[in-house]
Amino acid sequence: MSKVFVNISLSLDGYIAPEGMTMENWDNPDYKDWGAKWGALMGWIFNQQYFRENLKLGPGGETGPVNELLRTTTERIGANIMGKRMFDGGERGWPEEAPFHTPVYVLTHENRNPWVRPGGTTFYFINDGPERALELARESAGSRDIRIAGGADVIQQYLNLGVVDELEIALAPVLFGGGRRLFENLREPLPQFRIDRVLDSPAATHLRYVRR
């Protein structure tokens, strides 16, 4: 069966997004300096060759172990799941050819028809909760894996359901001091993980945890 995994970047003090990074302030990245903080968090990925190719940002970029890690992680994904907040930001920020190239299931209370983008990405808007989104994602992913893309509240929902097989965290050397924490609102019994891999680089430490 395909695996369910989380793949995100995280600040040293445990935040997935900085304070002030909201739709209300989307066009004002200087508000509480959220734009610079977000750039520092994600800086490790922007310079990778595979990322640049995937988003059609032009030639160049770093090769090596981190680039190959990014490639293999992306190629294993058969479907993505995300929350409405993440989708709203991406709808404004992603290029026309959204960077997923898979079905994407968006947890939302909004009724909306599927949104088809060039390059194989189709967004489906799910009103029936995280279990239904996961069921649909499993059907479309086949033998490939399912990525829980974010945000924090969506990841927490799937951790509480006990269905997350792996956590892949790029731990960036930046402190936010506030924002949206990743590990909040978790309920007993908590899932237990073991360290499977550590790959260090100057821009981030890449950690993989797998369920015991």
CA-closest candidate to residue 6, choices 204, 160, 132, 176: 160
Give the residue-averaged pLDDT of 85-105. Answer: 92
| Residues paired with 193 in a beta bridge | 211
Please give the domain boundaries of the chain with CATH numbers for all domains: 4-211 (3.40.430.10)
Residue 148: what pLDDT?
A: 98
Dump pLDDT digits (tens) for 107-141: 999 999 999 999 999 999 999 999 999 999 999 99
Dump pLDDT digits (tens) for 25-67: 999 999 999 999 999 999 999 999 999 998 888 889 999 999 9
Residue 95: what pLDDT?
A: 87
Give the residue-averaged pLDDT of 63-91. Answer: 96
Residue 1: what pLDDT?
A: 79
Residue 93: what pLDDT?
A: 85
Q: What do you get for the CA distance between the two ends of the chain, in Å?
A: 17
Give the residue-averaged pLDDT of 144-164. Answer: 97
Residues in the chain, total: 212
